[in-house]
Amino acid sequence: MAEEKRKMVKVYISGELFEVPEGSTIVTAMEYAGFQLKRGVGCREGYCGACATVYREKGDYKLKGGLACQTVVTDGMALTQIPFVPAEKPTYDLDKLSPDVSTFMELFPSVFRCVACNTCTKACPQDIQVMDYVQALIRGDIAKAADLSFDCIRCGLCALRCPAEIVQYNNATLARRLYGKYLSRKSPELEKRLKEISEGKFDQEMDKLKKMGRKELSETYYKREIKIS
């Protein structure tokens, strides 16, 4: 029996028309069309945030954003990649900062221009409640902001769409750093393990793993004992 012909769809990549297989992600569609991707791709269908893309779908005036490794092309889609979103980030010494709203007033005053339009949340490919963590920062709730922004991959799409010109992801990064240094509870188990590592307790095991071939390493990984508490 002859192999069934794969259905094709038409997409516009940076203004040029191509036919690509239906069901392709933007990344695979671009490669099928002959593009050699040297930048703007990283994890290949994971969550690294390197392949931010803006697009419009046929018959829809809205400009949308997504990650090229996850977003599936549709017939008539017009797209272009944004390898990164330029944004200034102040230089700071974490040891000299305090975990409260005054730090953001000094380093990121733009965050207080938020008009609560929720455009940033709608733009996020991770479905993070971006506006909510921005509002938490304005209230001085650093722990809440760190928690809500935990899955941020810094793709920049929130900042790209923000009418108040806020660089949300840089604010989120600082919130998580402040939380980790000053606000999170210290784990005695972690301190114990770090001490064991520094004393070389696991050096022999690590050397053994480094000498393993790919096949042996894979077998060792899948045969490991998994403790469920």
- In angstroms, the CA 172 to CA 187 distance is 23
| Tokens linked to 83 | 């390898």
Break the chain into its structural domains and give their ranges: 8-81, 94-183
CATH number of 94-183: 1.10.1060.10
Q: What kind of fold does domain 8-81 have according to CATH?
A: Ubiquitin-like (UB roll) (3.10.20)
CA distance 143 to 184: 8
Confidence at residue 6, expressed as pLDDT on a 0 to 100 scale: 84
- For residues 26 and 67, what is the distance between their CA atoms, to the nearest angstrom? 8
Whole-angstrom Cα distance, residue 218 to residue 212? 9
Residue, of 2 and 179, whose pLDDT is higher: 179
- Tell me the two tokens of residue 36: 């050699």
Per-residue pLDDT reduced to its tens digit, 94-132: 999 999 999 999 999 999 999 999 999 999 999 999 999
Residue 18 DSSP class: E
Edge-to-edge, what's the strand order for the sheet holding 64-67? 16-21, 8-13, 77-81, 52-56, 64-67
Query: Quick one: tokens of 93?
Result: 């010494």
Residue 172: which of 128, 213, 212 has the closest Cα? 128
Q: Is 194's pLDDT higher than 90?
A: yes
